[in-house]
């Protein structure tokens, strides 16, 4: 069954992934990219991941857009460590 927002509109899969990511960071303090990729693959398949130009597996653009909108600048990406954490 598809989830709905308070407005009655369906929640997009990208939004559900973003909510999970923020929840993981809130609960654990950080989220490694490899853990996020593994979760997304296991729950949503390959549709929300891709291999970027550097050869790294990454989250699809719409997932990252929903994530940024949800955390509103309170989460930072550590490029060297490949993880997100509270700022």
Radius of gyration of the chain (CA): 13
Q: Where are the beta strands (DSSP E) in 1-87?
A: 30-32, 49-51, 57-59, 75-78, 83-86
Other residues' Cβ atoms within 10 Å of the Cβ of residue 63: 24
Where do the structural domains in the chain lie, given as residue ranges?
13-86
CATH classification (class only), 13-86: mainly alpha
Condensed to tens digits (0 to 9), the pLDDT of residues 19-62 reads 999 999 999 999 999 999 999 999 999 999 999 999 999 999 99
Q: What is this structure's pTM?
A: 0.86
């Amino acid at each position: 069954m598809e989830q709905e927002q308070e407005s009655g509109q369906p929640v997009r899969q990208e939004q559900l992934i973003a909510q999970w990511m923020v929840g993981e960071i809130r609960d654990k303090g950080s989220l490694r990219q490899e853990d996020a990729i593994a979760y997304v693959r296991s729950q949503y398949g390959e549709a929300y991941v891709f291999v970027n130009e550097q050869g790294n597996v990454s989250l699809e653009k719409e997932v990252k857009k929903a994530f940024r909108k949800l955390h509103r600048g309170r989460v930072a990406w550590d490029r060297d460590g490949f993880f997100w954490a509270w700022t």
